[in-house]
Chain A
């Protein structure tokens, strides 16, 4: 048995800096498979919706370059996060994309030039990975107007015609706002957009069920910091770990506590960010101090409250 390296500062531990923890949850896994399906079926576009702080952007970051073609080649991932602009013109849209992707521009760039630069960039990305497909992710799509979404259909056409590259444009947005936009698209005279991008829709959900939570907590029992050091649970609960305790065994209890919140606040699912925060706080602060034998449900409640699962503003306003 190899010797465990205990020479590290607990304050540098990932559990204490949980914002950087990346766990591929079952919902992320599902999203990845969905995107794979879009790529394999040469879908021109799709929409991914989810409630706020569900972890959509992080999920896409994790999925990143893991999407492959049928041949097993990686598909390049071009990420763009939409910004709220003064004018919702097409030119402003192109300027925003070029600016976000750090593409070279003149002082007064005209629409044509920006378009060429952007299209060449997308096509070159595909060429670099020696594929004929590119995934273009448009995050925060609820900020866009219908006119601006039309820009992406333009990009899609040009890349396809001139470079024979099939881009899959994925619009990611907030459930409430994007659905409103989608309603307008469907009801209005925007069939070209609907048919192109919004035929396929995936709902991204957070953690939903004991199994999901157990799956995530298993990572805490398995991941090590440093690489030859103890596991995340072992680092904070050394004696308990030695006596056979595993963090994943708390999954039913944690889920039951969350269910109370869920029923009271009418929540859809547990947001990934909040879950990882609560669980990390529980592991780093409460369990080492008060032990694992008594009042664990209280500790879970407190850690969930610490990460503000429910909005305190709503109660204040009411």
Chain B
């Protein structure tokens, strides 16, 4: 059987384009396929696997060597997620370009055309298309563009000359690296400026969740790891609040402790360690340490949840108290080799490698604990709308972990989850506007990105 030769749309391909754009390219470069075929049920009511197979069949092998397209997320995001709002620059749409970076809420303007991004097509008024059938519509902005009107040689998207484009390039690389796990969220309630933040899905580091929260308790829906980009760090934990409430009413702290001890005993028995105590001394210590840490984590979490859920007034837990519960010393904040960005004038910029190592090796757990504290602070900060509170609060209270943080926000997503976002200052807006940082970016070849491996 001879396969029909579909055009892959490589000619319209630009760097940093999203998979949504790849699908649109395919439609534009194959005008020989009727729209009725796109409207066929096969295209609309298929699962994502079928859609993937359908598209794989229609592309050349060369096209699928592109690692970006090979990732499964691209069709998941656009073909399976009905609730995904696509943000797009109207002029970029006319030129057949879209990037994942446009989905970041802090990206308010198109870096190429410098006009605001929108959620609807300005011509036809409908949402930006996410399915084949809609993409093959008659609208010249969001639908089936005629390749003659594209003016391939004069596409503005191609040029990367101004600084925004440069930063766009950097960010796209970063986004590309972490595409599997990242979802860009950025909101700072304090000054209402958009900033960069990330949260992760629980698929990334499930072992942390396993270690801290046993699966049978179902206290946590998703756990995030830390991630650092430029100087901002964001965390996300999704708690199963209903389960937490249920747990609190049902079990007391003593019961939890007992449960954990029983588990420990069972583990010792199963492994036969109890017989030769001297031989397996260190193993036992490790096991006990693990079990006690889970128990204390549970205690902490239940404590904190009870505070968060029940106390409407100001609640705060001292860092020392948290760490004393864990029978640990309060960790010291690492020394920066280079100041990241000065809060006052944003004059300096650098990659704090020592910080990266320090975070990566030693402080995953402590940071995780710290999030609880942050969460409480967030709750408190959200209740108080007065900006002066933050200033007073931050100056008077020295954080053991991160003295630079000034802003938090807490999102209640649905009824079952809490997203916690923690972010440092200065804001992204100030970085964009600062020339010294931008000049640094231009000069330095390496990415101004911190990756914790």
- Show the binding face of A for B, using Cβ within 8 Å: 98, 101-107, 109, 112-114, 116-117, 120-121, 123-124, 127-128, 162-164
The interface stretch among B16-24, B30-38, B332-340, B386-394 is B30-38
Which B residues are in CB contact (< 8 Å) with A123?
A: 11
Which B residues are in CB contact (< 8 Å) with A121?
A: 5, 7
Chain B interface mostly helix, strand, loop or mixed? loop
User: Do the beta carbons of A113 and B32 come within 8 Å of each other?
Assistant: yes
Residue among B7, B11, B60 making CB contact with A117, cutoff 8 Å: B7
A125 to chain B, nearest CB (A): 10
User: Do the beta carbons of A117 and B31 come within 8 Å of each other?
Assistant: yes
The interface stretch among B98-106, B146-154, B175-183, B258-266 is B146-154
Which B residues are in CB contact (< 8 Å) with A162?
A: 147-148, 152
User: Do the beta carbons of A116 and B147 come within 8 Å of each other?
Assistant: yes
User: Do the beta carbons of A124 and B31 come within 8 Å of each other?
Assistant: no
Jot down 8 A-B pairs with beta carbons below 8 A, ordered by A: A104-B5, A106-B34, A109-B32, A116-B31, A117-B32, A120-B29, A124-B9, A124-B29
With A102-B5, A104-B4 as known contacts, state yes or no: A128 contacts B60, CB within 8 Å.
yes
Residue among B9, B32, B62 making CB contact with A114, cutoff 8 Å: B32
Chain A interface mostly helix, strand, loop or mixed? helix
Which B residues are in CB contact (< 8 Å) with A112?
A: 31
User: Do the beta carbons of B2 and A102 come within 8 Å of each other?
Assistant: yes
| A123 to B12 Cα, complex, angstroms | 11
- From A103, A120, A164, name the one whose CB has the most chain B CB atoms within 10 angstroms: A120
Let me know if B3 is at the binding interface, CB within 8 A. Answer: yes
| A164 to B11 Cα, complex, angstroms | 11
- Show the binding face of B for A, using Cβ within 8 Å: 2-11, 29-34, 60, 62, 146-148, 152-153
User: Do the beta carbons of A102 and B32 come within 8 Å of each other?
Assistant: no
Which B residues are in CB contact (< 8 Å) with A107?
A: 34
Which B residues are in CB contact (< 8 Å) with A101?
A: 5
User: Do the beta carbons of A127 and B11 come within 8 Å of each other?
Assistant: yes
Which A residues are in CB contact (< 8 Å) with B7?
A: 117, 120-121, 124
User: Do the beta carbons of B30 and A117 come within 8 Å of each other?
Assistant: yes
Interface contacts beyond A104-B5, A112-B31: sample of 8 additional A-B pairs, CB < 8 Å, sorted by A: A102-B2, A109-B32, A114-B32, A120-B31, A120-B147, A124-B10, A124-B11, A162-B147
User: Do the beta carbons of A102 and B31 come within 8 Å of each other?
Assistant: no
Which A residues are in CB contact (< 8 Å) with B146?
A: 116
Which B residues are in CB contact (< 8 Å) with A109?
A: 32
Which B residues are in CB contact (< 8 Å) with A128?
A: 10, 60, 62
User: Do the beta carbons of B147 and A103 come within 8 Å of each other?
Assistant: no
Q: Tally inter-chain residue pairs, CB-CB below 8 A.
A: 59
| A105 to B32 Cα, complex, angstroms | 4
With A124-B7, A124-B11 as known contacts, state yes or no: A98 contacts B152, CB within 8 Å.
no
A295 to chain B, nearest CB (A): 49
B195 to chain A, nearest CB (A): 40
| A163 to B29 Cα, complex, angstroms | 12
| A106 to B30 Cα, complex, angstroms | 11
User: Do the beta carbons of B147 and A102 come within 8 Å of each other?
Assistant: no
| A202 to B116 Cα, complex, angstroms | 59
| A109 to B33 Cα, complex, angstroms | 9
User: Do the beta carbons of B5 and A103 come within 8 Å of each other?
Assistant: yes
Residue among A106, A117, A124, A163 making CB contact with B152, cutoff 8 Å: A163
User: Do the beta carbons of B32 and A164 come within 8 Å of each other?
Assistant: no
Which B residues are in CB contact (< 8 Å) with A102?
A: 2-5
- From A104, A112, A162, name the one whose CB has the most chain B CB atoms within 10 angstroms: A104
User: Do the beta carbons of B148 and A98 come within 8 Å of each other?
Assistant: no
Which A residues are in CB contact (< 8 Å) with B2?
A: 102
User: Do the beta carbons of B4 and A124 come within 8 Å of each other?
Assistant: no
| A97 to B33 Cα, complex, angstroms | 16
Q: Which 10 A-B residue pairs are closest in the complex by CB-CB distance?
A: A117-B32, A106-B34, A104-B32, A116-B31, A113-B31, A105-B32, A120-B7, A104-B4, A102-B5, A120-B29
Which B residues are in CB contact (< 8 Å) with A163?
A: 11, 152
User: Do the beta carbons of A103 and B62 come within 8 Å of each other?
Assistant: no
| A124 to B25 Cα, complex, angstroms | 12
| A276 to B413 Cα, complex, angstroms | 78
B19 to chain A, nearest CB (A): 19
| A221 to B146 Cα, complex, angstroms | 57
Please give me the residue from chain B that is nearest to A112 by CB atom.
B31
| A120 to B22 Cα, complex, angstroms | 16
| A116 to B146 Cα, complex, angstroms | 9
User: Do the beta carbons of A104 and B29 come within 8 Å of each other?
Assistant: no
User: Do the beta carbons of B11 and A120 come within 8 Å of each other?
Assistant: yes
| A114 to B33 Cα, complex, angstroms | 10
| A275 to B81 Cα, complex, angstroms | 65
| A123 to B28 Cα, complex, angstroms | 14
| A101 to B60 Cα, complex, angstroms | 15
Which A residues are in CB contact (< 8 Å) with B11?
A: 120, 123-124, 127, 163
A126 to chain B, nearest CB (A): 9
A199 to chain B, nearest CB (A): 28
Please give me the residue from chain A that is nearest to B62 by CB atom.
A128
Which A residues are in CB contact (< 8 Å) with B62?
A: 128
User: Do the beta carbons of A104 and B3 come within 8 Å of each other?
Assistant: no
| A102 to B32 Cα, complex, angstroms | 11
| A104 to B35 Cα, complex, angstroms | 12
User: Do the beta carbons of A98 and B153 come within 8 Å of each other?
Assistant: no
User: Do the beta carbons of A124 and B33 come within 8 Å of each other?
Assistant: no
Which A residues are in CB contact (< 8 Å) with B30?
A: 104, 117, 120
Which A residues are in CB contact (< 8 Å) with B152?
A: 162-163
Please give me the residue from chain A that is nearest to B12 by CB atom.
A120
- From B8, B31, B34, B148, name the one whose CB has the most chain A CB atoms within 10 angstroms: B31
User: Do the beta carbons of B153 and A104 come within 8 Å of each other?
Assistant: no
Residue among B4, B9, B10 making CB contact with A103, cutoff 8 Å: B4
Which A residues are in CB contact (< 8 Å) with B31?
A: 112-113, 116-117, 120
A65 to chain B, nearest CB (A): 15
User: Do the beta carbons of B5 and A127 come within 8 Å of each other?
Assistant: no
| A107 to B60 Cα, complex, angstroms | 24
B3 to chain A, nearest CB (A): 7
| A163 to B7 Cα, complex, angstroms | 14
User: Do the beta carbons of A164 and B153 come within 8 Å of each other?
Assistant: yes
A160 to chain B, nearest CB (A): 12
Residue among B6, B10, B148 making CB contact with A104, cutoff 8 Å: B6
Please give me the residue from chain A that is nearest to B35 by CB atom.
A106
| A123 to B29 Cα, complex, angstroms | 11
Which A residues are in CB contact (< 8 Å) with B33?
A: 104, 106
